[in-house]
Structure 1
Amino acid sequence: MSDGKFIRKIIMKNLLYRMAASWGLAVLAGSAVIVLLAACGGTGAAPSHDNTKLQQTLQIMLQDFVKSDDVMTGASIYVIAPHLDLEWGTAIGVTERGGSVPLTPEHPTYISSVTKSFVAAAILRLHEEDRIDIEAPITRYLREDHLQILKDGGYDVDQITVRHLLMHTSGLADFFYTKTFDQMAPKLMSGELVHLFTLEEQLRMAMEDKSYGKPGEVYHYSDTGYILLGAMLEKITGKSMAAATRELVDYDNLGLKNTWWAVLEPRPVGVLPRAHQYYGDYDSYNNDPPFDLYGGGGMISTPEDMARFFQALFKGGVYAKEDTLDLMLTTLKDKGPKPEDFNGRTTPDYYGLGIFRGQAGDIMTYGHGGWWGAYGFYVPSLDIAIGVTTTRQEYSKTIEGFSSTLLEKIQAACRPLSAKSPSDP
């Protein structure tokens, strides 16, 4: 197989991954954690003051996980579990292939589509401040040149609402699926071509493909909608989308010291260089600047910061009003297209406004996954937040393998704990 065809195959697999894994990533791993923690006593427990065994188990889990894969260079995890008296992170491996620098939980990585949860939170903060109405058409909040690109592409911009963008029900085609991107992909992935896409360029690329359907009638995961949300942040606040998100989500208040937007912001002072992430032979450093920069991706963070962010969403650290979280968690199953509208595909009825909902029995998990092997989620009933990064992107071997190992190892570690599971907040 030629290099070009191989790269295009990678891209297509990745695109499918972003749609399938983005709504299943946190669900898959989160469900495993929920099941095992609930089975081993849940949380509400009197705190276990000696978590040495649990920490050792997680350490061994990561070690076995990394060693089981010949090309995996490392993985890290951070757990915030007040009811288990545990806040702790660990990492195994090195920061790059052939390197000798040990990977730590403090090493940031691209978090790709986890960015969408941050963008959605920023938009909903504007909603709280009555600066945006999510039920209003996007014509109110986008620049005329951006709207004109959509009109030229055949879209009725008056029928697309902010909510449609947030829930991936706008019908907007995804620029990653286009012929232009497909032709550029081999050189981008290999590092032969270094290209900083503009937001307008990506919008025009998306116009090459036909709409996925009428607004509100079909769900289709699309980064195009989120780059428009990023553009809205800029137009409404008069700041870059990075600065607007930082201010609206209030990174400083949440203690997000290791989170920033690639290209749009400098690396914070004192933060370690990001670790390399791989897909096959391809290195994330070859994609610098990243091609998912605007709204749909582009952020860099650590497992700890992701865990803190998702915990803060539920613990009053982000939103000023309680009903804003309820709004964010309103999923397609609650409000949106019916299952029969999805053309035979599995209905992702657990997607809310920039966040995925998973379920294991009666227990819910909320979070988001990212293409480069990062994900974060929160379990309200157990008050547990978890962030994970891996240095190998491949979905089947990293996430499924990690989840099954997590299930086995933590279940064993939790057996000594006994607890009464608290109710959902």
Structure 2
Amino acid sequence: MLQEQLVTNIQSEAEATGFSGTVLVKKGNRAAASGAYGYADKAEQRPNRLGTRFGNASGSKLFTAIAVCQLVEQGKLAHDSKVIDILDQADFPQFSPDITVHHLLTHSSGIPDYFDEETMDDFAALWITRPMYQLRQLKDFLPMFQELPMKFSPSTRFHYNNAGYILLGLLVEKLGGMPFTDYVEQHIFAACGMADSGYFSLDALPGNTAQGYLVKEDGTWTTNIYSIPVKGGADGGAFVTAPDMLLLWEGLLGQKLLSPEMTNLLLTPHIHEDKEEYYGYGVWITKRSGEIYKYHVTGYDPGVSFHSAYYPASGTTAAVLCNHSRGAYRIMQAIEKCLDSQMDM
């Protein structure tokens, strides 16, 4: 019954909205629904497939949080470690010396962001005066925020912050002894069996990868190659497949990546964002009636929309990957409508 409802709802929503991407839903270890829609390459009319790679934008912050927690378990770091002590105060002259790893993980550090979502709404506008093709390493982002003043004192409120995750990535590089993207690919993706996922440059994408598209109201389009950094990093921009993303949830929840205690800490609602939404370490947490409804990650960039979640009450995981700027949210709503109806029966 659930499987039939899911397939019908997803198909109906995909057709109504012109969805371009892939969808995979599993209940336990069994696939409940899957589908692929639209084109990975519009010019060549190459269709999306279930195993197509898509950018996942800020959905990658979970990978960064896992990497940091691994270093904590190795004794190289602590959640209350002072970040500026480990990096270099001279590089961040106006940053508070009281900022901890926990503050960065929970978006409560108060540092300035290079893309402040409270005051900015066009990510692509960042690259009008900055060559996006030069942003290939974490250190390349530093001139965009490192000398700006603090927005508020650490721990006083939640403020979603990409720059904070850049700093976390720099900690991983310094203490992990390798480039951030190599660390994630070796210690997280490989450990979960995510063989098709990685951090790829837009000017050297591997096969079976979807181009990201900005689609205008008249149906014309451009790719997103001039609208996002050329290579992803600690604040977002990995490429994943839908099956690989569910392997990530399986690895995390099955304690393949972290100990049970550290896994629970990562999934703890550390800070309240708004209404039902809380934030753990790199993961959003939705509560309903005092219970955890879902753990989820999302990502939006020009030409990218991404949602993935685990629903503990039903043991269901879902991943929706889209190579348009919008689309994943509506499909996720269709999935949740089915799951909620089953819970009410």
| TM over 0.5, shorter chain | yes
Q: Aligned partner of 2:249: which letter? A: F
Moved more, 212-221 or 400-409: 400-409
2:92–2:147: 8 Å Cα contact kept in structure 1? no
Name the residue aligned to 2:282: 354
SS of the residue aligned with 2:65?
A: helix
Structure 1 residue 260 corresponds to structure 2 residue 198: yes
Q: Aligned in 2, Cα 1:134/1:404: closer, same or farther, shift over 3 Å? A: closer
- The structure whose Rg is larger is 1
The share of aligned pairs that are identical, in percent, is: 20
Name the residue aligned to 1:77: 23
Deviations 1:216-257 (A, max 9, x none): 1121111101011111111112201011122332x2331101
Distance in 1 of aligned mates of 2:105 and 2:182 = 20
TM-superposed deviation, 1:88:
5.3
Q: Aligned in 2, Cα 1:103/1:325: closer, same or farther, shift over 3 Å? A: same
SS of the residue aligned with 1:203?
A: helix
Structure 1 residue 367 corresponds to structure 2 residue 312: no
Deviations 1:318-354 (A, max 9, x none): 11x2110121122234xxxxx7xxxxx8468610111
Q: Aligned partner of 2:50: which letter? A: P
Distance in 1 of aligned mates of 2:172 and 2:200 = 17
Name the residue aligned to 1:89: 34
TM-superposed deviation, 1:126:
0.9
2:23–2:36: 8 Å Cα contact kept in structure 1? yes
TM-superposed deviation, 1:313:
1.1
2:166–2:233: 8 Å Cα contact kept in structure 1? yes
Q: Name the structure with the higher strand share.
A: 2
Q: Aligned in 2, Cα 1:164/1:303: closer, same or farther, shift over 3 Å? A: same
Which of 58, 62, 71 in structure 2 is aligned with 1:113? 58
SS of the residue aligned with 1:135?
A: coil
Alignment of 1:89-168 (within 5 A): 89-97=34-42, 99-142=44-87, 144=88, 147-151=89-93, 154-156=94-96, 158-168=97-107
Name the residue aligned to 1:304: 243
Q: Aligned in 2, Cα 1:57/1:97: closer, same or farther, shift over 3 Å? A: farther
Moved more, 203-212 or 229-238: 203-212
SS of the residue aligned with 1:120?
A: helix
Q: Aligned in 2, Cα 1:351/1:173: closer, same or farther, shift over 3 Å? A: same
Q: Aligned in 2, Cα 1:266/1:252: closer, same or farther, shift over 3 Å? A: farther
Q: Aligned partner of 1:148: which letter? A: A
Structure 1 residue 278 corresponds to structure 2 residue 218: no
Instruction: Note the residue ranges of structure 2 that are not aligned, 5 or more in a row.
Output: none
TM-superposed deviation, 1:173:
1.1
Name the residue aligned to 2:331: 402
Name the residue aligned to 1:196: 134
Deviations 1:247-292 (A, max 9, x none): 332x233110121012399767xx512343436445323346437x
Instruction: Note the residue ranges of structure 1 that are not aligned, 5 or more in a row.
Output: 1-52, 334-338, 340-344, 419-425
Q: Aligned partner of 2:212: which letter? A: H
2:123–2:228: 8 Å Cα contact kept in structure 1? no
Structure 1 residue 246 corresponds to structure 2 residue 246: no
Deviations 1:194-236 (A, max 9, x none): 5322533422212465422101112111110101111111111
2:132–2:229: 8 Å Cα contact kept in structure 1? yes
SS of the residue aligned with 2:40?
A: coil
TM-superposed deviation, 1:378:
1.3
- Which structure is higher in RCO with an 8 Å CA cutoff and minimum separation 6? 1
Name the residue aligned to 1:231: 170
Name the residue aligned to 1:44: none
Distance in 2 of aligned mates of 1:141 and 1:264 = 32
Q: Aligned in 2, Cα 1:330/1:186: closer, same or farther, shift over 3 Å? A: closer
Deviations 1:93-128 (A, max 9, x none): 222445422211111111011110001001101111
Distance in 2 of aligned mates of 1:370 and 1:317 = 24
Name the residue aligned to 2:252: 313
Distance in 1 of aligned mates of 2:336 and 2:84 = 47
Deviations 1:357-409 (A, max 9, x none): 11244343112101121121212332221111123223xxx355324433455
RMSD, aligned CA: 3.4
Distance in 2 of aligned mates of 1:79 and 1:163 = 32
Q: Aligned partner of 2:14: which letter? A: V
Name the residue aligned to 1:35: none
SS of the residue aligned with 1:89?
A: strand
Distance in 2 of aligned mates of 1:317 and 1:381 = 21
2:72–2:79: 8 Å Cα contact kept in structure 1? yes
SS of the residue aligned with 1:79?
A: strand
Distance in 1 of aligned mates of 2:263 and 2:336 = 29
Distance in 1 of aligned mates of 2:170 and 2:210 = 26
Distance in 2 of aligned mates of 1:378 and 1:182 = 28
Name the residue aligned to 2:270: 332
Structure 1 residue 393 corresponds to structure 2 residue 311: no
Q: Name the structure with the higher helix share.
A: 1
Distance in 1 of aligned mates of 2:49 and 2:328 = 19
2:138–2:169: 8 Å Cα contact kept in structure 1? no
